[in-house]
Amino acid sequence: MPLGTLYLFPVPLAQEAEHKSYTSFSRTVLLNLREFVVENEKTARKFIKQTGLDIPQQDLIMHDYGKHAREKVDYKQILRAALLGEDMGLMSDAGCPGVADPGALVVAAAHRLGINVVPLVGPSSILLALMASGFSGQKFAFHGYLPIDKQARAAKIKELESQAKREDQTQLFIETPFRNNALLDELLKSCKAETKLCIACNVTGKDEYIRTYTIKNWKDKKPDLHKKPTIFLLYVNAN
């Protein structure tokens, strides 16, 4: 019996951004699926409803892997439909499954089980921020969260700044939204005046804010990033 396909669905990054978050092809695929692996069932059901799916929500089967410890998830069980030949969908809480996202574990399990994996086009805050930064897209690295400890965080920022210059590489990282302002303060304190910083806040949202300035110039333009999803990018021109 041929195995099913696991389709990876990017979901909106911001409120009321649905119309710019999925393609007509993605919607066509979605309308033919009845079983999903999701990080957050509430978010997934909301997204599916916004696409105009015309079948009752209770007819959809959701495997919410976000509720469980990752090491305890029975991937063979949640992917059982695909093993029996049915196509399934995978959705993260926001953005692209598997990119800075625990959905990568589901995708890895699908590969181990021989299930075909098909990524669909949609929003990635990391790539959208990089596109809009004006920094090098030839060499870049995403570091996730920086240390919480102040000394360790300052040291990491200086390390990333040096790496950016040494390797001509864009450095991307994030912070828990309620600590964004503290991270920005540390960046302005720790980085050299001519180092460039891009702040990409609430990407695709109504109040989207993306700006690139030197550290020196940011000190007079510091935005309030409290509780707003934000990508930070550092870059140092080689010449």
Quote the pLDDT of residue 71. 67
Quote the pLDDT of residue 67. 63
Residues of the chain with pLDDT below 70 are 67-71, 238-239
pTM of the model: 0.91
Residue 201 CB burial class (10 angstroms; 0-12, 13-18, ≥19) = buried
Quote the pLDDT of residue 70. 65
Domains of the chain by start residue, with CATH: 5-119 (3.40.1010.10), 125-235 (3.30.950.10)
- Residue whose tokens read 């920022």: 157
- Residue whose tokens read 């410890």: 69
86-110 tens-digit pLDDT: 999 999 988 899 998 889 999 999 9
Q: Which of 12, 66, 4 is nearest to 35 (CA)?
A: 4
Quote the pLDDT of residue 174. 97
211-222 tens-digit pLDDT: 999 999 999 899
Buried b (16+ CB within 10 A) or exposed e, 46-83: ebbeebebeeeeeebebbebbeeeeeebebeebbbbbb
